[in-house]
């Protein structure tokens, strides 16, 4: 027998409902806390949603954030935030900073004159400084972006709800939806607590998380559907547990390979997309968790209508593919 | 016993081979790029074999560096121009019936309306009738049945404005013209592969790869370049002097604090120019030579003949470039614009005049500039991450599934190559989030294989016959694979629809990666397993 790495034993018999108070209840508490965090702390919106300008500066000289700040004060730009950017890929002669400005005008993006005056002000304290990138979003566009972002997340959830409803039963669709709301909620909550930058790429990550999480839930649901037909006298709770145990190995494997790939991106992918990748990593973790501990619980609470009339339980064997609805 | 039939095997591997051929140029990116540029210029270049595909994945601005600008066209500007042009027609039509309507004067009005006063209130009904007679029916599909202007009367005052349908038609025309002129201007500067697209009602997206700052692009497209030759009525006392109707006060371009009072009706406009070239005047200062078309030449000739000794103004975008005095009749229809130009400015002005004026002003709503170095860094980082991710996932799969893990890894490699060929064929753009999408696909694409392999493991507990377990594994995993991937593709479509730029690139790679992963897992891996089973005829298998 050749060596095989087994993350999950061949046969598991975990009772996923055993600690429902801690797992499901805990998630409910975390979800509520997330909502509170978003409402009280608020999200740290990036320029995509708030309007304003982000400038990435690079210099071969050591960075002095204080000097930069002082240099920009006479320009009267309103809120200016300067942060140093770190990445293991930068050598000692690459010193990168990010300068964020509030929106300057009514509708429009930043004027070239402002950018030029900032560059000359910064070059006065550090002649080697250059602007690697300038991104500016006017308040008019950012106001629209925030709505289309929210609409896209809601539309994705709605679409998934309908698809799962058509392919399975409405109980599964609701279970999946609650799991998705959990994933979105916890991600927003974490971003509010850590005050991480929330921009369009995070929305892209959120949507990907939705896709990943529902994929996970659907695999379990698919097995539940199969087992409901196969063992139609078994109580629902046991069918759900059996299905989750049978698919556990796959759930862990897929989460494992995805997290491996994401870890590689997180370490080597550069600082530009680190926020995006971090959101995705977090999402794969909560998404995997929610499909195992949230989606099924909702299905159990709602119950599934099981149609006994068309099949005789005694004739249902291992290979009897009974196609009943 | 069911296995993949030989014909199907051939079809699968043929499809893979074709896919790989289309992905190949991307492995020699710079070489193929040089080759394609040469071919585009009509040069017979042999550095890349002609029988191979030469389509490349477009690199997004965040990878190549460049400028992205979202501009809003002030479509309302055009209403003003139209009203300005309507005034003489209204005046002349009413003047023809002076006996009934009396004298006609223009009243101050909002920019998109024309308000006319007649001195004989008794003639109001007749005046209304005459003005309405000027309205033309709209021929567009949506505006059928309505006319271009609406006239309302209020005692001796007539208010003329554009109808809703005409406004919509005008807006559309304005957008078309703006797009065309921006395209011409950017082409004149000769930047490669610019993207110029209409977005929504009144916006234009401009993406130009390879420029270091948005400034260059803004200089070119940000100026309206509305050139007019207007009669000068005199010097104005200052910017705050209130002009009478039909007159305006404009500042001088190079003389601080100097203002001119001008007639708003131009003698000639930039639209009547046929050519403009940078040149030098007799004092060797940079200037722009221009030539009018026939109608422009005649109008300019007649005007100069009648107004010798009078000054006229050359106005560019609401600023008086110069106000020379007419020395003599200028019949030839050509002339020179002098001003306080640098050589670069005069060259730019010539480009702008040649390409034509924008019908309306642009404001910039969004602007993103990425330096080429940052783009290259992102490509390097993304490539490194993808390689590391690939090695990790392959190692993990082989550790967990042995030989079957190798089959899955081969399928994974093919999957990534096929994503590139898909992107090349679609002409899609690869962005930094797009690279992240590919790396994510590396992790997620094995999911379909994992589903099958886990299922085969389960089946092996029931039956020891390899072929039967493999068949059952594939059959039973199918519904889970379908349902899971349909939802992912759905999400990718929504992302594509709502997202812009980089996020769109991510949606494309995610959707392609997911679609292709179903093909590679179900067909390519299956084909390898069946070939192996057929060749080795194993008594037992271990997954």
pLDDT digits (tens, 9 = 90+) for A58-93: 999 888 889 999 999 888 888 888 989 888 878 888
pTM, two decimal places: 0.81
The reported pLDDT for the residue numbered B192 is 66
CATH 3.40.190.10 corresponds to the domain A20-43+142-319: no
Same domain, B147 and B256: no
A20-43+142-319 and A52-137, same CATH topology? no
Res B524 pLDDT > 70: yes
Res A275 pLDDT > 80: yes
Question: Quick one: which of B134, B198, B135 has its CA closest to B172?
Answer: B198
Same domain, B269 and B294: yes
| CA distances (Å), origin B138, targets B163, B299, B538 | 10, 30, 79
Same domain, B295 and B334: yes
| Rounded-to-integer distance, Cα A91 and Cα A89, Å | 6
Domain that holds residue B532: 6-58+373-536
Is B318 inside a domain boundary?
Answer: yes
The reported pLDDT for the residue numbered B434 is 87
Is B174 inside a domain boundary?
Answer: no
Cβ neighbours around B97 below 10 Å, total? 16
Same domain, B356 and B390: no
Environment class of A13 (CB within 10 Å of its CB; exposed 0-12, middle 13-18, buried 19+): exposed
Is B194 inside a domain boundary?
Answer: no
Is B152 inside a domain boundary?
Answer: yes
The reported pLDDT for the residue numbered A314 is 46
The reported pLDDT for the residue numbered B142 is 63
With DSSP H G I counted as helix, E B as strand and the rest as coil, what are the percentages for chain A, rounded to 5?
Answer: 60, 10, 30
| CA distances (Å), origin B141, targets B76, B169, B174 | 22, 10, 18
What pairing do the DSSP bridges indicate for beta strands B429-430 and B58-59?
A: parallel
Res A287 pLDDT > 90: yes
| Rounded-to-integer distance, Cα A266 and Cα A87, Å | 11
Please judge whether A211 and B369 are an interchain contact, meaning their C-beta atoms are less than 8 angstroms apart: no
The reported pLDDT for the residue numbered A317 is 45
Same domain, B41 and B93: no
| Rounded-to-integer distance, Cα B507 and Cα B513, Å | 10
A window 44-73, beta carbon within 8 A of B: 56, 58
Is B178 inside a domain boundary?
Answer: no
| Rounded-to-integer distance, Cα A104 and Cα B291, Å | 42
| Nearest residue, CB atoms, B440 vs list A56, A149, A261 | A261
Please judge whether B436 and A2 are an interchain contact, meaning their C-beta atoms are less than 8 angstroms apart: no
The residues near A177 (Cβ < 8 Å, ≥ 6 apart) are A157, A160, A161, A164
pLDDT interval class at A318 (50, 70, 90): very low
Containing B193, the helix (H) or strand (E) segment is: none
Poorest-pLDDT segment among A186-195, A279-288, B34-43, B449-458: B34-43
Same domain, B422 and B317: no
Cβ neighbours around A37 below 10 Å, total? 20
| Gap from A4 CA to chain B (nearest CA, Å) | 5
Q: Which CATH superfamily is domain A52-137 in?
A: Ferrodoxin-fold anticodon-binding domain (3.30.70.380)
Residue B532: left (phi > 0), alpha (psi -120 to 50), or beta? alpha
Please judge whether B370 and A226 are an interchain contact, meaning their C-beta atoms are less than 8 angstroms apart: no
| Rounded-to-integer distance, Cα B59 and Cα B370, Å | 13
The token pair at A205 is 């990550």
| Residue at a domain's end among B123, B139, B167 | B167
Give B493-514 as a DSSP string.
Answer: HHHHHH--HHHHHHHHHHHHHH
| CA distances (Å), origin A6, targets A34, B66, B397, B399, B452 | 35, 48, 11, 9, 16
What pairing do the DSSP bridges indicate for beta strands B149-154 and B157-162?
A: antiparallel
Looking up residue B119, the CATH number of its domain turns out to be: 3.30.1360
Give A54-72 as a DSSP string.
Answer: EEEEEESSPP-HHHHHHHH
- How many H helices and E strands in chain A? 10, 6
Please judge whether B436 and A269 are an interchain contact, meaning their C-beta atoms are less than 8 angstroms apart: yes
Contact A284, A255 (CB under 8 A): yes
Please judge whether B374 and A219 are an interchain contact, meaning their C-beta atoms are less than 8 angstroms apart: no
| Average pLDDT of the residues in B375-390 | 90
Same domain, B458 and B504: yes
Please judge whether A215 and B497 are an interchain contact, meaning their C-beta atoms are less than 8 angstroms apart: no
Q: What's the CA dihedral at A308, A312, A313, A317 to 10 degrees?
A: -130
Give B40-91 as a DSSP string.
Answer: HTT----SS-TTS----PEEPHHHH-EEEEEEEE-THHHHHHHHHHHHHHHH
Is B452 inside a domain boundary?
Answer: yes
| Rounded-to-integer distance, Cα B393 and Cα B413, Å | 11
Same domain, B246 and B346: yes
CA nearest to B383 within chain A? A269
pLDDT in tens, B430-483: 888 888 888 888 877 888 889 899 889 888 888 878 888 888 888 888 888 888
Domain boundaries, given as residue ranges, for chain A: 20-43+142-319, 52-137
Same domain, B264 and B296: yes
| Average pLDDT of the residues in B131-155 | 78
Is B400 inside a domain boundary?
Answer: yes
The reported pLDDT for the residue numbered A315 is 45
Looking up residue B346, the CATH number of its domain turns out to be: 3.30.1360.200
Same domain, B482 and B407: yes
| Rounded-to-integer distance, Cα B454 and Cα B253, Å | 76
Contact B524, B474 (CB under 8 A): no
| Average pLDDT of the residues in A6-16 | 81
Please judge whether B364 and A138 are an interchain contact, meaning their C-beta atoms are less than 8 angstroms apart: yes
Q: Which residues of A touch B381 (CB under 8 A)?
A: 89, 268-270, 272
What pairing do the DSSP bridges indicate for beta strands A95-101 and A52-59?
A: antiparallel
Is B98 inside a domain boundary?
Answer: yes
Please judge whether A211 and B490 are an interchain contact, meaning their C-beta atoms are less than 8 angstroms apart: yes
pLDDT in tens, A165-214: 998 889 999 999 999 999 999 999 999 999 999 988 898 888 888 888 98
CA nearest to B377 within chain A? A270
- Give me the number of domains chain B comprises: 3
| Rounded-to-integer distance, Cα B117 and Cα B152, Å | 12
The reported pLDDT for the residue numbered A325 is 40
A window 8-47, beta carbon within 8 A of B: 10
Phi, psi of A249 (to 5 degrees): -60, -45
A window 208-227, beta carbon within 8 A of B: 208, 210-212, 214-216, 218-219, 221-223, 226
Same domain, B315 and B385: no
| Gap from B50 CA to chain A (nearest CA, Å) | 35
Same domain, B136 and B243: no
The reported pLDDT for the residue numbered B412 is 92
Q: Which residues of A touch B484 (CB under 8 A)?
A: 214-216, 218-219
Looking up residue B432, the CATH number of its domain turns out to be: 1.20.1640.10
CB-side neighbour CA atoms (13 Å) of B59: 20
Question: Chain-wide mean pLDDT for chain B?
Answer: 85
The reported pLDDT for the residue numbered A258 is 92
Burial B174-205 (b: 16+ CB within 10 A, else e): bbebbbebbbebbeebebeebebeeeeebbbb
């Amino acid at each position: 027998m050749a060596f095989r790495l087994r993350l999950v034993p061949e046969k598991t018999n975990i009772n996923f409902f055993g600690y429902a108070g801690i797992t499901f209840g805990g998630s409910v508490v975390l979800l509520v806390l997330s909502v509170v965090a978003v409402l009280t702390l608020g999200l740290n919106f990036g320029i995509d949603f708030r309007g304003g300008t982000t400038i990435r500066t690079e210099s071969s000289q050591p960075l002095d954030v204080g000097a930069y700040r002082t240099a920009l004060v006479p320009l009267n730009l309103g809120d200016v935030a300067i942060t140093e950017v770190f990445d293991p890929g930068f050598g000692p002669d690459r010193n990168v900073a990010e300068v964020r400005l509030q929106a300057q005008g009514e509708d429009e993006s930043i004027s070239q004159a402002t950018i030029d005056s900032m560059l000359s002000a910064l070059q006065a304290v550090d002649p080697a400084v250059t602007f690697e990138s300038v991104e500016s979003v006017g308040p008019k566009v950012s106001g629209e972006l925030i709505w289309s972002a929210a609409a896209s997340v809601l539309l994705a959830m709605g679409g998934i709800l309908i698809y799962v409803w058509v392919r399975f039963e409405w109980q599964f669709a609701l279970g999946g939806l609650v799991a998705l709301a959990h994933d979105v909620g916890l991600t927003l909550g974490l971003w509010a607590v850590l005050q991480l930058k929330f921009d369009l790429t995070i929305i892209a990550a959120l949507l990907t998380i939705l896709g990943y999480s529902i994929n996970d839930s659907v695999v379990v649901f698919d097995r539940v559907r199969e087992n409901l037909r196969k063992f139609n006298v078994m109580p629902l709770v046991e069918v759900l547990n059996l299905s989750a145990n049978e698919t556990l190995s796959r759930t862990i494997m897929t989460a494992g390979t995805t997290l491996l790939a994401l870890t590689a991106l997180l370490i080597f992918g550069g600082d530009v997309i680190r926020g995006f990748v971090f959101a995705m990593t977090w999402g794969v973790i909560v998404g995997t968790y929610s499909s195992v501990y949230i989606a099924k619980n909702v299905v159990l609470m709602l119950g599934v209508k099981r149609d006994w009339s068309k099949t005789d339980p005694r004739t249902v064997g291992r290979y009897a593919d009974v196609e009943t609805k | 016993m069911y296995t993949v039939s030989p014909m199907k095997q051939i079809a699968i591997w043929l499809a893979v081979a074709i896919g790989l051929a289309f992905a190949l140029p991307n492995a020699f990116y710079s070489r193929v790029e040089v080759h394609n540029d040469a071919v585009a210029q009509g040069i017979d270049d042999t550095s890349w074999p002609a029988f191979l595909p030469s389509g490349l994945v477009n690199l997004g601005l965040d990878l190549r560096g460049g400028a992205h600008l979202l501009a809003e066209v002030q479509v309302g500007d055009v209403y003003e121009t139209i009203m300005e042009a309507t005034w003489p027609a209204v005046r002349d039509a009413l003047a023809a019936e002076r006996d009934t309507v009396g004298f006609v004067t223009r009243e101050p009005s909002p920019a998109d309306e024309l308000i006319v006063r007649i001195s004989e209130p008794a003639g109001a009904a007749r005046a209304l009738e005459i003005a309405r007679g000027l309205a033309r029916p709209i021929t567009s599909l949506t505006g059928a049945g309505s006319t271009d202007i609406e006239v309302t009367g209020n005692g001796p005052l007539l208010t003329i404005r554009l109808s809703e349908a005409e406004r919509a038609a005008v807006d559309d025309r304005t957008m078309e013209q703006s797009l065309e002129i921006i395209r011409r201007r950017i082409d004149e500067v000769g930047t490669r592969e610019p993207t110029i697209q209409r977005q929504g009602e009144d916006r234009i997206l401009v993406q130009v790869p390879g420029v270091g700052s948005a400034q260059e692009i803004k200089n070119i497209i940000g100026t309206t370049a509305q050139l007019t030759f207007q009669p000068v009525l005199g010097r104005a006392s200052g910017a705050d002097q209130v002009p009478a109707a039909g007159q305006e006060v404009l500042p001088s371009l190079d003389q601080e604090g100097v203002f001119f009072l001008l007639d708003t009706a131009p003698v000639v406009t930039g639209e009547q120019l046929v050519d403009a070239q940078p040149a030098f005047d007799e004092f060797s200062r940079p200037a722009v030579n221009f030539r009018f078309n026939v109608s422009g030449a005649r109008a300019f000739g007649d005007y100069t003949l009648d107004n010798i000794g009078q000054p006229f103004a050359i106005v560019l975008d609401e600023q008086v470039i110069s106000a020379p005095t007419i020395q003599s009749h200028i019949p030839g229809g050509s002339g020179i614009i002098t001003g306080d130009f640098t050589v670069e400015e005069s060259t730019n002005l010539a480009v702008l005049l040649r390409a034509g004026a924008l019908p309306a002003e642009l404001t910039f709503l969004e602007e993103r500039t990425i330096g080429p170095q940052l783009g290259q860094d992102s490509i390097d980082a993304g490539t490194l991450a993808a390689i590391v991710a690939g090695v990790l996932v392959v190692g993990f799969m082989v550790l967990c599934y042995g030989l079957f893990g190798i089959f899955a890894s081969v399928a994974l490699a093919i999957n990534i190559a096929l994503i590139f060929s898909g992107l090349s064929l679609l002409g899609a753009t690869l962005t930094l989030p797009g690279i992240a999408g590919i790396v994510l696909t590396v992790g997620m694409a094995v999911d379909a294989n994992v589903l099958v392999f886990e299922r085969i493991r389960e089946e092996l507990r029931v039956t020891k016959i390899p072929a039967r377990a493999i068949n059952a594994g594939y059959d039973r995993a199918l519904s889970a694979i379908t349902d899971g991937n349909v939802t992912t593709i759905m999400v990718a479509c929504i992302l594509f629809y709502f997202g812009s730029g980089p996020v769109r690139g991510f949606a494309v790679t995610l959707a392609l990666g997911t679609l292709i992963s179903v093909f590679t897992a179900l067909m390519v891996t299956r084909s390898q397993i069946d070939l192996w089973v057929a060749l080795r005829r194993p008594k037992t298998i271990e997954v």
